[in-house]
């Protein structure tokens, strides 16, 4: 592909920094560099605690495991149909019932009014995805969640640095999840982060990440309490929870530390690219009414205003012809309600209550946006799109 989804996201300076580290013959499993990266990320994001894991999907899973500790009998979690599969599968794996809400086209996030309608006595959390750099939060939703004592879990995997008012997304919810996959704003090749301002949950996360072992804890008073409750166990091998091994490595942390230095500038470049892309897109055929406040663009979203399969297929054909990589359906391939793993549990005869996500599913896609993309590149891509609808 001449215009891939991502290009040069691990730079020569990253590799040079990593080689310098490796020459010291360090321990490569989770160690001091992981802790350093966690602290640097927390400072950048504006939270108290961060836990580096092996993927954004693992971060999703740990958020739901924390919720399961609070609600062992389960309950309902409100989720979007436009998101990555692990948001929903983590809800299912942890014994909660997903409740789906349609999206707003101007943010691709869940519709606030529809979320509020679905809230009831069984609602334990709202798992909100900030799709491809757009903010999905507002004061009305936050006030309703606070009033009803419902946890907010933020999926910020595609939206590093996006903001609601003056706060970075991921610093607002009870927990937040980030992905550092190769194509994202910051990459450790594979990796993720889960963040919180709650010290108890932070210590629970440290245990859950590493088999449930209490020796991973930061809170020594909490640790001593558990040891006292289990006098016949070796203190090095007390498993408080049925945990996982979701740790990352020192190599991933070193890459993360290196990339964090240029993250803010990369966000500026991505947003610059987005403004140029939207400005030159033909508004007669393509949807352009996105809410850009607080945006940290991940990819160029392309959405037909009207249903037209013939034109949509023509666009895709011209994209292929010109070497422009794309993903149909936007985040996660479109409507998750159409996926086999969901259809086995939730059988819908029609999708009338999910009109917006259905439109994105059949008439939307995204194109890669990255710092190396030039003005000339963007002008060419928009030219291909605009000529395809004539």
3-class SS string, 271-326:
HHHHHHHHHHCCCCCECCCCCCCCCCCCEEEEEECCCCHHHHHHHHHHHHHCCECE
- Separation CA 202–CA 219 (nearest Å): 9
d(CA 186, CA 253): 11
Residues 6+ apart with CB under 8 A from 257: 17, 33, 36, 37, 40
Q: Please, where are the H alpha helices in the chain?
A: 12-22, 32-45, 56-70, 85-93, 112-118, 139-147, 199-209, 220-229, 250-260, 263-280, 309-321, 340-343, 355-363, 375-388
Mean pLDDT of 23-34: 96
**pLDDT value at position 346?**
87
Q: Is the pLDDT of residue 347 over 90?
A: no
Q: Which residue has the tokens 């399969």?
A: 309
pTM over 0.75: yes
Q: Residue 349: pLDDT band by 50, 70, 90 thresholds?
A: confident
Q: What is the mean pLDDT of residues 47-76?
A: 98
Which CATH number fits the domain that encloses residue 149?
Answer: 3.40.640.10
Q: What residues form DSSP beta bridges with 335?
A: 82
Number of domains composing the chain: 2
% of the chain exceeding 90 in pLDDT = 97
- Tell how strand 299-303 and strand 364-368 pair up: antiparallel
Same domain, 243 and 108: yes
Pair (335, 223) in one structural domain: no
Q: Are residues 244 and 353 in the same domain?
A: no
* One domain for residues 217 and 161: yes
Domain boundary among 260, 282, 304: 260
Tell me the residue range of the domain where 216 lies. 12-260
Span 234-244, mean pLDDT? 97
pLDDT per position as a tens digit, 88-100: 999 999 999 999 9
| pLDDT tens digits along 38-54 | 999 999 999 999 999 99
Q: What is the pLDDT of residue 182?
A: 92
What is the mean pLDDT of the segment spanning 205-232? 97
In our burial notation (b when 16+ CB lie closer than 10 A, e otherwise), range 86-117 reads bbbbbbeebebbbbbbbbbbebbbbbbebbbe
Asked whether residue 223 falls in the same domain as residue 293, the answer is no
CATH number, position 279: 3.90.1150.10
> What distance in Å separates the CA atoms of residue 57 and residue 84, rounded to the nearest whole number?
9
8 Å CB contact between 199 and 210: no
* Domain finish residue from 260, 286, 312: 260
317 and 242 in a single domain? The answer is no
Q: What are phi and psi of 324, to 5 degrees?
A: -105, 110
The torsion defined by the Cα of 84, 93, 57 and 174, in degrees rounded to 10, comes to 90
Pairing of strands 123-129, 151-155: parallel
State whether 109 and 205 are in the same domain: yes
Angle formed at CA 126 by CA 146 and CA 201, multiple of 5 degrees: 75
Name the pLDDT band for 317 (thresholds 50, 70, 90).
very high
Q: Are 90 and 64 in contact (CB under 8 A)?
A: yes
Model pLDDT, residue 350? 86
Residue 164 in any domain: the answer is yes
- 192/303 same-domain check: no
Q: Are 5 and 319 in contact (CB under 8 A)?
A: no
Q: Residue 334 region, left (φ>0) first, then alpha (ψ -120 to 50), else beta?
A: left
Q: Report the alpha-carbon distance of residue 216 to residue 211 in Å, rounded.
A: 9
Same domain, 344 and 379: yes
- As a whole number of angstroms, the distance between CA 210 and CA 247 comes to 7
- Answer with the one of 234, 260, 286 that is the final residue of a domain: 260
**Average pLDDT for 77-89:** 97
Rounded mean pLDDT of the chain? 97
Per-residue pLDDT tens digits for 366-389: 999 999 999 999 999 999 999 999
pLDDT at 107: 97
């Amino acid at each position: 592909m001449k215009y891939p989804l991502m290009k040069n996201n691990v730079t020569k300076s990253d590799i040079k920094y990593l080689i310098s580290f490796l020459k010291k013959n360090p321990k490569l499993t989770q160690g001091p560099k992981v802790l350093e990266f966690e602290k640097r990320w927390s400072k950048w994001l504006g939270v108290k605690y961060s836990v580096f894991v092996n993927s954004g999907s693992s971060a999703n899973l740990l958020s739901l495991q924390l919720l399961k500790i609070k609600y062992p009998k389960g309950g309902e979690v409100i989720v979007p149909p436009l998101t990555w599969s692990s948001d929903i599968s983590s809800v299912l794996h942890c014994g909660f019932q997903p409740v789906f809400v349609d999206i707003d086209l101007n943010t691709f996030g869940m519709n606030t009014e529809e979320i509020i309608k679905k809230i009831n006595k069984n609602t334990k959390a709202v798992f909100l995805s900030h799709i491809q750099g757009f903010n999905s939060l507002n004061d009305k939703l936050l006030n309703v969640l606070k009033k009803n004592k419902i946890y907010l879990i933020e999926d910020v995997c595609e939206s590093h640095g996006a903001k609601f008012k003056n706060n970075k997304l991921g610093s607002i919810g009870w927990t937040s999840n980030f992905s550092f996959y190769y194509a994202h704003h910051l990459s450790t090749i594979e990796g993720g982060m889960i963040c919180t301002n709650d010290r108890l949950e932070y210590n629970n996360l440290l245990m859950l990440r590493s088999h449930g072992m209490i020796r991973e804890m930061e809170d020594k008073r909490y640790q001593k309490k558990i040891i006292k409750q289990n006098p016949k166990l070796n203190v090095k091998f007390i498993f408080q929870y049925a945990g996982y091994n979701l740790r990352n490595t020192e190599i991933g942390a070193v890459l993360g530390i290196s990339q964090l230095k240029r993250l803010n500038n990369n966000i500026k470049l991505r947003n610059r690219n987005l403004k140029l892309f939207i400005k030159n897109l033909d508004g007669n055929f393509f949807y352009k009414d996105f809410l850009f406040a607080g945006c940290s663009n991940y990819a160029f979203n392309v959405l037909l205003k009207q249903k037209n399969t013939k034109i949509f297929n023509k666009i895709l054909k011209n994209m292929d012809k010109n070497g422009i990589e794309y993903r149909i359906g936007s985040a996660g391939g479109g409507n998750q309600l159409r996926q086999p793993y969901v259809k086995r549990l939730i059988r819908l005869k029609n999708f009338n209550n999910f009109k917006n996500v259905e439109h994105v599913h059949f008439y939307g896609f995204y194109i890669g946006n990255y710092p190396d993309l030039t003005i000339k590149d963007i002008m060419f891509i928009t030219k291909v799109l605009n000529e395809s609808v004539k």
